[in-house]
Amino acid sequence: MTKKRLGLITAVSLAVALILTFAAVGCGESNDQPVEPDEPKLSGTLDLSGSTTVLPLAQEAADMFMDENPDVTVNVQGGGSSVGISNVAEGVVDIGNASRGLKDEEKGLGLEDHEIALDVIVVIVHGDVPVEDLTADQVFDIFTGKVTNWKDVGGPDQAINVVVRDEASGTREMFDEKALKKEAPLAGAIETNSNGIMRQTVSSTPFSIGYISLGYLDSSVKAVKYDGVEGSKETAVDKTYPLSRYLHMFTEGEATGLAEAFIAFVLSDNFQDEVVSEEYIPMTEI
């Protein structure tokens, strides 16, 4: 009996040892790819972290990039814009993704900015709001709490439910800066922590107003014109529509080696037109 149990113990410790060896081997090399030794020009590992908004895009790019370069491993992780920026500055990763520009305290870090897509933000309302168009002043008044009833902006006599993004969001930062002239939105506003939740909150809260990325716009909510201009790819490109922001990839100093190749791939016509254009405005059109 004891022997049997001893066997179990050895089995467990063997498993542990196995995993550890596996771990040791794993960090050395990780080429599970069927290697096509046609033109093995690029190899190595590239690490990215940062904005969860950029994450899906960066993942898609990493995937395609790895298919083209089988000897390359690209690891992409989230964490948030600030995490990405501080990680790349500390050298933890090669590229930091961000859905916002550098803050003042981050400007001295010596980071090189690569804009990879343009994101258009549209003001949306619940389907029961008959308003089609809001002036910049009206949007400002509504989101800062100076106007609290739809009847003051040409709607029915109903209280306005304001929905904003959470403090951490790059969308919120852009909106506060451009639409609210850096004033804080009214304190009682509902906060949502993603585009998806924003869309769902506005579509399910009567007489509500909010804002989302164009890529997330669907029939469950109604987009309103901003100062008479409809938010779209065209109006953003010709700069008549002001509410937009760039998505960024930051490198420490000039991008070199793998990072350079990867960013070049992200900015390539192929990737921009095929993938980026599905949700954002590709850099090729700007």
Partner 1 sequence: MQGVIDREWIVKKTLFTLAMITVLGIVLLIFFVARESIPAFTEAGPVNLFSATWNPGNGQYGMLVFLTGTLATTAGGLLLGTPLAIGSALFLTQMAPRRARSIMTRGVELLAGVPSIVLGWLGFTIMVPWIRSATGSTGTGILAASIILAIMVIPTITTISKDALEAVPESHLQAAYAMGATRWQTIRRVLLPAAKPGLLVAVILGMGRAIGETMAVALVIGPASVFPKSLTSPTHTLTTKILIEMGESTGVQRSSLFAMGLVLLLLSMLLILLVRLVSRQKETMR
Partner 2 sequence: MSTDLKTGVEIARPSVEVVGDLCEFKDSRIEGIIQQSIARNEKRAHFYDRVATVTVWTLSIIGLGILAFIIFVILYRGIATALTPGFIFGKPQALKEGGGIWPMIVSSFYLALLTIAIVLPLGVGAAVYLTEFSREGRITRLVRFGADSLSTVPSVVFGIFGMVLFVIYFGLGYSLLAGAFTLALLNMPTVMRTTEEAIKAVPHSYREACLSLGASRWETAKKIVLPSAMPGITTGVVLTVGRIVGESAAVLYTVGLFVRKVPVSPLQPAAPMAANIWHMYTEGALVSDWMRVANGEAAFLLLVVLVLNLGARLIARIYQKRLGMVS
Q: Which residues bind partner 1 (CB under 8 A)?
A: 51-52, 78-83, 85-86, 103, 105-106, 166-170, 176, 182, 184, 187-193, 201, 204-206
| Residue from the set 46, 53, 163, 241 that interacts with partner 2 by CB under 8 A | 53
Nearer to partner 2, 1 or 187 (CB): 1
Burial class (CB in 10 A: 0-12, 13-18, 19+), 161: buried
- Can residue 66 be called a binding residue for partner 2 (CB under 8 A)? yes
- Can residue 203 be called a binding residue for partner 2 (CB under 8 A)? no
**Nearest distance in Å: CB 31, partner 2:** 9
Instruction: Convert 133-150 to b/e letters by CB count within 10 Å (16 or more is b).
Output: ebebebbbbbbbbebeeb
* Residue 26 interaction partner, one of partner 2, partner 1, none, beta carbon < 5-8 Å per kind: partner 2
Burial class (CB in 10 A: 0-12, 13-18, 19+), 100: buried
Q: How many CA atoms lie within 13 A of 175 on its CB side?
A: 26
| Residue from the set 82, 148, 149, 193 that interacts with partner 2 by CB under 8 A | 193
**Cα–Cα distance measured from residue 250 to residue 259, given in angstroms and rounded to the nearest whole number:** 10
8 Å CB contact between 168 and 193: yes
Stretch binding partner 2 (CB under 8 A), from 48-56, 102-110, 130-138, 171-179: 48-56
* Count of residues of this chain found to bind partner 2 when the rule CB under 8 A is applied: 51
- Can residue 144 be called a binding residue for partner 2 (CB under 8 A)? no
Name beta bridge partners: 179.
none
Nearer to partner 2, 6 or 264 (CB): 6
Among the residues of the chain, which ranges form H helices? 2-28, 55-68, 81-90, 136-144, 170-178, 195-204, 233-237, 257-267, 269-271, 277-279
Nearer to partner 1, 160 or 275 (CB): 160
Q: Are strands 161-165 and 244-252 parallel, antiparallel or unpaired?
A: unpaired
3-state secondary structure of 173: helix
Nearer to partner 2, 92 or 264 (CB): 92
Stretch binding partner 2 (CB under 8 A), from 19-27, 151-159, 234-242, 249-257: 19-27
**Nearest distance in Å: CB 187, partner 1:** 5
Tokens matching residue 197: 């939740």
**Nearest distance in Å: CB 269, partner 1:** 31
**Nearest distance in Å: CB 83, partner 2:** 8
